Structure 1
Amino acid sequence: MKTTITTYEYSYITQQVNNLTSAYLAVNDAQIRLAIRAKTIAQITPLLPSESLDAQQFLTGLATDRLSRTAATKLLELLVPLVEPFPTLSTKQLSKIFRKVKKLKQPEWANLQLHELTYLGWNDGGNQKKYLVAPFEDRLIGIQGEFSPQTIKGVCAICQTIGNVALFLSTTKSSGLGTYTKKGNYICRDSNQCNRQLTNLETLTEFLTVVQPQRRNRK
């Protein structure tokens, strides 16, 4: 029986609720609003723990016509305790994930909403680096890469949303003779915003598959 919500499911639910409130502002026909509301509830309901009183209260509140953005925000807060948040990692744990980084810049945990994070990402502007900690094959992995200071408008390879993106490149293979293979793609400069837009784990997994270091074949 489903008892929790994933962070990316929470992002999806949030997007659907925001779309619903926007539709209310644009549509005057009551029957059309009813149809939009019914479709939204049908899309959200399977993601919620059926036995949760908070989830039931959320769905009841969502059925209100002309739901305001303020009321929608309060409804979404009911779901936060049901979300499996991204774990808080100690300095020692992060250092273990990024063993080869001597002076690892730490993320600003106080500014993070862990219930919105499917992955953890932070920038080191001084060294033009970006660090990612993300779930991959049932464990957390760390990826570091060069992060371009140039920001452009484009589609993020992780969240698949148009926004402010920059080129992320990680070293995936080293010959040991001074030659390296680097792979990457354009991703959101703001990882927190990227997480709020991420509604599918598959796109994150595909990105990680490309940028993670390749394991050497052992003979």
Structure 2
Amino acid sequence: MSEPFIVNHQYNFIKKQAGILEQTLRANADSKILESVRYSAELKIAELFPNGTNFQKHMLEAIFNLQSSDDFAKHLMELESYLIEFPQITDKQIQKLFPKNKKLKLPDLGAIDYRYVTYISWIDISTNKLFIVYHMNGQFIGIEGRYTPTNKKGYCFVCNRHEELALFTAISKKRPANSSPDYYRAIGNYLCIHGHECNKNITDPSLLEKFVDSVIG
């Protein structure tokens, strides 16, 4: 069996394209429309793996020949065997990411299925804070900020899905030249109130990475 080669957001993207294709098949769409949807999905998925091996390309291309809902479900389950896990992290490593939080509430790392994780997040209700751990450029990055549920639905800036939202506000470490000692800049964005749902939906981490970069400086 080939080594794992699909990360969580890529798998979510593949599922999304498979869903579009399956829906087109169910609708008994015109053959030209069906062919167009197949070609579009195949092209978009191939762009995610420009250096894919022949075996990997074969695994991904197989989805475009499926016909039934059972076939799609079976194939997506087979692809789960090739998921790359989010890098393992320990409680001690997390504590080092947030050194100012002496009584840091830690997530239950043992309950996480790292195959389906793009980022780790958890909430400390006692302080109304949200903590995020992301792996970027070969290292773990920790971001914390104020967490305010909105009690309404909208589009999450991370996964771009219509979900229940919270406002996440973090203090940027970037400082303009010659800024005063008390200068600070808060950066806020709306994201899914449930991190596990966001991880199930995210298909492109670029906006999350942009946010992380704007906070860490």
Counterpart-to-counterpart distance in 1, 2:15 and 2:126: 34
Counterpart-to-counterpart distance in 2, 1:103 and 1:83: 34
Percent sequence identity over aligned pairs: 28
SS in 1 for 2:172: strand
Aligned partner of 1:56: which letter? Answer: H
SS in 2 for 1:126: coil
Q: Which residue of 1 aligns with 2:127?
A: 127
Task: Give the TM-score, by structure 1 length.
Answer: 0.79
Aligned partner of 1:209: which letter? Answer: D
Query: Once the two structures are superposed, what CA deviation does each residue of 1:92-143 show, in whole Å capped at 9, x if it has no partner?
Result: 1111112221222222334433222221112223332111011344421101
Counterpart-to-counterpart distance in 1, 2:190 and 2:111: 24
Q: Deviation of residue 31 (structure 1)? A: 4.5
Query: Once the two structures are superposed, what CA deviation does each residue of 1:143-180 show, in whole Å capped at 9, x if it has no partner?
Result: 11110133322222222333211111123359776x75
Counterpart-to-counterpart distance in 1, 2:81 and 2:4: 11
Aligned partner of 2:48: which letter? Answer: L
1:145-156, aligned counterparts within 5 Å?
Answer: 145-156=145-156
Matched, 1:187 2:191: yes
Q: Deviation of residue 187 (structure 1)? A: 1.1
Report if aligned partners of 1:151, 1:189 keep a CA contact under 8 Å in 2: no
Aligned partner of 1:52: which letter? Answer: F
Counterpart-to-counterpart distance in 2, 1:123 and 1:22: 36
Matched, 1:115 2:100: no
Report if aligned partners of 1:128, 1:148 keep a CA contact under 8 Å in 2: yes
Q: Which residue of 2 aligns with 1:63?
A: 65
Q: Which residue of 1 aligns with 2:23?
A: 22
Task: Give the TM-score, by structure 2 length.
Answer: 0.80
Report if aligned partners of 2:157, 2:190 keep a CA contact under 8 Å in 1: yes
The structure-2 alpha-carbon separation of the partners of 1:46 and 1:185, relative to structure 1 and needing over 3 Å to count, comes to: closer
Q: Which moved more, 1:8-17 or 1:21-30?
A: 21-30
Q: Which residue of 2 aligns with 1:217?
A: none
What are the ranges of 5 or more consecutive residues in structure 1 without an aligned counterpart?
215-219
Counterpart-to-counterpart distance in 1, 2:60 and 2:123: 35
Matched, 1:12 2:25: no
